[in-house]
Structure 1
Amino acid sequence: MDNNSSSPGTFRRRTLLKVIVLGDSGVGKTSLMNQYVYKKFSHQYKATIGADFVTRELQIDDKLVTLQIWDTAGQERFQSLGAAFYRGADCCVLVYDVNVLKSFESLSNWHLEFLKQANPANPETFPFILLGNKVDVDGGHSCAVTEKRAREWCDLKGSLPYFETSAKEDINIDEAFLCVAQAALESGGQPDM
């Protein structure tokens, strides 16, 4: 008798969830992902060119979930990465900088662009999550977008979950991405054999 504890009956399927992160250049998309996956923050700003992704495994209830988090360039010239990039997404994370009004005002464009490119089966129920990043800046005194205003925007888009985050100080990062994973799971992540 062998000591292999994984009998065929205990095999659990992994679920791969594709998450797209969108928002203006400089709002902290890459920093949020690096803080979530690697627990690291860099003070150096390096613009993302095109797209890149990181993965993190987590367990939700009895499911092993692999989050494949796609980082996108926020610059206009990369905004239309094409349908292939967005296709198959299980959740979209919209990010703005709470200190930069323009990054908040462009959220509707990012939201629309995603729906246009990804063309989800049920656009009304597709999971979006909003992150207001950089709440640590200036002790919160330079905030240009109030939490109330952000929540009103979320309500207009169908009661989207909202988190105020700081990639630098690791505020609400795990909570936000757990919400992302749960929303993506509910929308039907693809089982990965």
Structure 2
Amino acid sequence: MEGSTKNFRVAVVGDKGVGKTTLIYQYLLDNWMTERKTAKGRIFQTTVTIDSTLIDVDIIDSEMDLAELAECNAFVLVFSTASRATFNFITSFKDHLPALPQQGRLIVLVGTQTDVDHSEVDYEHGLDLAKAMKAGYFQTSYQNRDKVDNVFSYLLRRHLCPPETWTTSETPQLRESTSLPFHLLKWIWVNIFCGGRWKSKSRVGYD
């Protein structure tokens, strides 16, 4: 395959119960992965191909350790649209951003659980916070996994391109993927998806 291999390290940050681990598993559902535990959390590793470029991806299920976050190229900041407290958690995290490396840093804000009957954080409030952080913004239900793919594709495509070429209208898509082993696929299905219905209620906005 043509092209060189690049490395990409992304931290998934959010309050308890917002679905950080679910987000990671849903993204990795179509990609081979390995998982290892550290004293501070879990790191998932996979390889994807975008435009003939291999990218080795480390995804950290973060425990908000600033030293660990400083080593990341990107952040996925997750809150539940059904919980104002989880949105406030991400708002407070914004205050830590100046302490982290700025050059080449990518951020995407994700509002989850859009399929619930009530919402405490509307789309416009999430978009306003994303603009303040110069971040992409997605809302998604975990019952609509294609939007989860877009979250990471958005970051990966921008990682490949210099900032001056970024646009606010791109909708990145992964070009190639592989499959998880059947036993892991079965575990994810039983523990996360069993009994759910697939709905398409997600929206996406950009800075």
TM surpasses 0.5: yes
Q: Is the 8 A contact 1:13 1:64 kept in 2?
A: yes
Q: Is the 8 A contact 1:99 1:134 kept in 2?
A: yes
What are the residue-to-residue correspondences of 1:22-37 with 2, within 5 Å?
22-37=13-28
Q: TM-score, normalised by structure 1?
A: 0.71
Q: Is the 8 A contact 1:86 1:114 kept in 2?
A: no
Compared with structure 1, are the counterparts of its residues 136 and 56 closer, same or farther at alpha carbon in structure 2 (3 Å cutoff)?
Answer: farther
Instruction: Name the structure 1 match of 2:5.
Output: 14
Give 1:89 deviation, angstroms. 1.0
Distance, in Å, in 1 between the alignment partners of 2:142 and 2:45 is: 17
From 95, 101, 107, the equivalent of 1:120 is 101
Q: Is the 8 A contact 1:94 1:111 kept in 2?
A: no
Give 1:121 deviation, angstroms. 4.1
Instruction: Name the structure 2 match of 1:3.
Output: none
From 106, 119, 128, the equivalent of 1:143 is 119
- Structure 1 gaps of 5+ residues are 1-9, 40-48, 74-78, 189-193
Larger Rg: 1
Compared with structure 1, are the counterparts of its residues 186 and 111 closer, same or farther at alpha carbon in structure 2 (3 Å cutoff)?
Answer: farther
Distance, in Å, in 1 between the alignment partners of 2:51 and 2:111 is: 28
Q: Is the 8 A contact 2:130 2:137 kept in 1?
A: yes
Q: How many residues are paired up?
A: 156
Query: Which is bigger in relative contact order (C-alpha 8 A, separation at least 6)?
Result: 1
CA RMSD of aligned residues (A): 2.4
User: Does residue 153 of the first structure (1) align with residue 129 of the second (2)?
Assistant: yes
User: Does residue 103 of the first structure (1) align with residue 82 of the second (2)?
Assistant: no
State percent identity of aligned pairs. Answer: 23
From 176, 181, 184, the equivalent of 2:151 is 176
From 52, 74, 77, the equivalent of 1:94 is 77
Give 1:88 deviation, angstroms. 2.5
Give 1:133 deviation, angstroms. 0.9
Instruction: Name the structure 2 match of 1:71.
Output: 61
User: Does residue 167 of the first structure (1) align with residue 142 of the second (2)?
Assistant: yes
Q: Is the 8 A contact 1:127 1:187 kept in 2?
A: no
Give 1:38 deviation, angstroms. 2.4
Partner amino acid, structure 1, of 2:112: N
Q: Is the 8 A contact 1:67 1:181 kept in 2?
A: no
Deviation per CA, 1:29-54, whole angstroms, max 9, x where unpaired? 00000111026xxxxxxxxx831111
Distance, in Å, in 2 between the alignment partners of 1:106 and 1:52 is: 21
Instruction: Name the structure 2 match of 1:52.
Output: 42
- Structure 2 gaps of 5+ residues are 31-38, 164-207
Deviates more, 1:179-188 or 1:160-169: 179-188
Q: TM-score, normalised by structure 2?
A: 0.67
